């Protein structure tokens, strides 16, 4: 990609990289010269690492459950063990609860969604920031969602978790603004990934999802990756605590 930032020699940690937005972003970082470390519960993320290596890049897969502190700490330690430092992190792992109105939502669905989508981001921030403080700074991007800014029906735990990610992003940005660590978020609208595959395969439901979309289509994961690379780069050196909306204009009206 001409004009995209250069991450040669930078150590970049990415969670949720077995598919979708995480995989596309990992490939983009690999292409931009980064040493990429992928944390995912799904062993398919090893295929993302292979894809990056096949293209001449450097990548390491570490099986990780972002909801578990010891697992996240081990992921950061693996990155430092392999490369000696951590420059950039993209905290992107996430899942959707089953769709239900709030009173019909199970407590288990609520707890699991919060554990992965919100606590997971907290844990990643905690261990990444500790490392970044010891290596002179870094840049972090969290994956929120337009569901972190406005509500979607039938998804209360996800909406709560993603609003929480927007808040965590601001809080972490303030805590470390003078210590050379920037923390931002991306808020994608509808993106064509395994998470939304079922919705997009149903023409009636797809039409309903896109009826408020000015651009009139779902994004491809690569269309999110570009903003993540920008926010992680020195071109965004004065940007922190922000949530960048990438939604084809959905929240413009
Ligand atoms: N697809 C969309 O329309 C959309 C819109 C807004 C935000 N998002 C967010 O983007 C992020 C990526 O989702 P995607 O659309 O690429 O879907 P995806 O299902 O392709 O990717 C989710 C990734 O998270 C991983 N993951 C799930 N639980 C995990 C855990 N406990 N520990 C480690 N990894 C785990 C999965 O294995 C997978 O690699 C998520 O945070 C999602 O909420 C997606």
Is the per-residue pLDDT at 2 higher than 80? no
Any ligand 1 atom below 6 A from CB of 232: no
* 8 A C-beta contact, residue 229 and residue 32: yes
Of 18, 20, 109, 116, best ligand 1 pocket probe by most atoms within 8 Å of the beta carbon: 20
What is the 156 CA–ligand 1 centroid distance (Å)? Answer: 17
Closest listed residue to residue 124, CA positions, set 188, 74, 198? 74
Instruction: Measure CA 61 to chain center.
Output: 16
Any ligand 1 atom below 6 A from CB of 243: no
Any ligand 1 atom below 6 A from CB of 94: yes
For the chain, domain boundaries: 11-246
What is the 121 CA–ligand 1 centroid distance (Å)? Answer: 12
Quick one: average pLDDT of 244-252?
96
What is the 18 CA–ligand 1 centroid distance (Å)? Answer: 9
Is the per-residue pLDDT at 186 higher than 70? yes
pTM: 0.98
pLDDT digits (tens, 9 = 90+) for 53-70: 999 999 999 999 999 999
What is the 211 CA–ligand 1 centroid distance (Å)? Answer: 24
Task: Write down the mean pLDDT value for the chain.
Answer: 97
- What is the number of the ligand 1 atom nearest to the C-alpha of 65? 32
pLDDT of residue 32: 98
Is the per-residue pLDDT at 226 higher than 90? yes
pLDDT digits (tens, 9 = 90+) for 76-112: 999 999 999 999 999 999 999 999 999 999 999 999 9
Closest listed residue to residue 13, CA positions, set 127, 119, 96? 127
Catalytic positions are 158
Closest listed residue to residue 245, CA positions, set 168, 150, 155? 150
- Domain range 11-246, its CATH number among 3.40.50.300, 3.40.50.720, 3.30.565.10, 3.90.79.10: 3.40.50.720
Provide the percentage of residues in the chain whose pLDDT is more than 90: 98
Is the per-residue pLDDT at 3 higher than 70? no
pLDDT of residue 1: 43
pLDDT band at 253 (very low <50, low <70, confident <90, very high): confident
pLDDT of residue 69: 98
Tell me the C-alpha distance between 61 and 40, whole Å. Answer: 8
Provide the percentage of residues in the chain whose pLDDT is more than 70: 99
């Amino acid at each position: 990609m001409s004009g995209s930032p250069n991450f040669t020699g930078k150590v970049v940690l990415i969670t949720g990289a077995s598919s979708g937005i995480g995989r596309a972003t990992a490939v983009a970082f690999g292409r931009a010269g980064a040493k990429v470390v992928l944390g995912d519960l799904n062993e398919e993320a090893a295929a993302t690492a292979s894809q990056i290596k096949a293209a001449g890049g450097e990548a390491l897969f570490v099986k990780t459950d972002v909801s578990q502190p010891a697992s996240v700490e081990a992921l950061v330690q693996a990155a430092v063990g392999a490369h000696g430092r951590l420059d950039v992190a993209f905290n992107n792992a996430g899942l959707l609860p089953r769709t239900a109105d709030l009173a019909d939502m199970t407590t288990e669905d609520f707890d699991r969604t919060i554990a992965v989508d919100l606590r997971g981001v907290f844990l990643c921030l905690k261990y990444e920031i500790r490392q970044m403080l010891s290596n002179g700074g870094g840049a972090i991007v969290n994956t929120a969602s337009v569901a972190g800014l406005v509500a979607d029906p039938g998804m209360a735990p996800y909406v709560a978790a993603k609003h929480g990610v927007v808040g965590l992003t601001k809080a972490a940005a303030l805590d470390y603004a003078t210590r050379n660590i920037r923390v931002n978020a991306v808020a994608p609208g509808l993106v064509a990934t395994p998470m939304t595959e079922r919705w997009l395969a149903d023409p009636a439901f797809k039409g309903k999802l896109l009826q408020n979309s000015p651009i009139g289509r779902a994004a491809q994961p690569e269309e999110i990756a570009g903003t993540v690379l920008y926010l992680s780069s020195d071109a965004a050196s004065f940007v922190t605590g922000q949530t960048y909306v990438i939604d084809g204009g959905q929240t413009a009206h």
